[in-house]
A = this chain, B = another copy of it.
Amino acid sequence: MAKATDGNGTPVPQRLLAAATRLFAEHGYDRTSVQEIVEAAGVTKGALYHYFGSKEDLLQEVYARVLRLQQERLDAYANAEAPIEQRLRDAAADVVVTTIENLDDASIFFRSMHHLSPEKNKQVRIERRRYHERFRALIEEGQRAGVFSEATPADLVVDYHFGSVHHLSTWYSPDGPLSQQEVADHLADLLLRALRP
């Protein structure tokens, strides 16, 4: 038999992760039983506990994936060759787009983080902090250069923007009047407008 696949083509660990992501987002972490996850993935508990140490590990893996992705993208935009205004706008819009593209991950992220054990929670917070600080550095760079207002501490500006990103999973619907890109452009625009000197 091929390694860890089954009738379906995709490997079992990934199928489990995908099923867990969908179910966690739909019913919440605590309301999703391990039994439901393995059924949705077409395997049994034995398979899950063969690849993952616990139900919590599954949740942490969802986080880890999202964080890696977002950090990579932020770094790419932040380190690009362009005026600071442009780099911040691109980064701010991109995080909106990728969040919308992974709305399930986003809602899990913000609703279920406190379900992680203290150590794993700490780990996630550290990664989040790195992301936050890279973003803040962009704003401070613009403030020093005089293109952004210094009326508001950069930290607060970051939280202001991420608040709106965080909030997306509450209200954004692909069936709504605005496309992903339109929402992203508007939100980035609001940020840049708020930062005008």
Contacts and interface: CB of A to CB of B under 8 A. Distances in A.
Interface of A: 27-28, 30-31, 110-111, 114-115, 149, 151-153, 156-157, 159-160, 162-168, 170-171, 178, 183, 186-187, 189-191, 193-196
A156 B170 contact: no
A167 B158 CA distance: 11
The 5 closest A-B pairs by CB, nearest first: A163-B167, A163-B164, A30-B30, A194-B194, A163-B163
A190 B30 contact: no
Main secondary structure of the interface of A (DSSP, over half): helix
Contacts of A178: 153, 156
Stoichiometry, as copies per complex, reads: 2
A172 to B, nearest CB: 9
A166 B170 contact: yes
A115 B168 CA distance: 19
B28 A190 contact: no
Nearest to A171: B159
Contacts of A163: 163-168
A130 to B, nearest CB: 15
B170 A164 contact: no
Most buried by B among A151, A189, A194: A194
A71 to B, nearest CB: 18
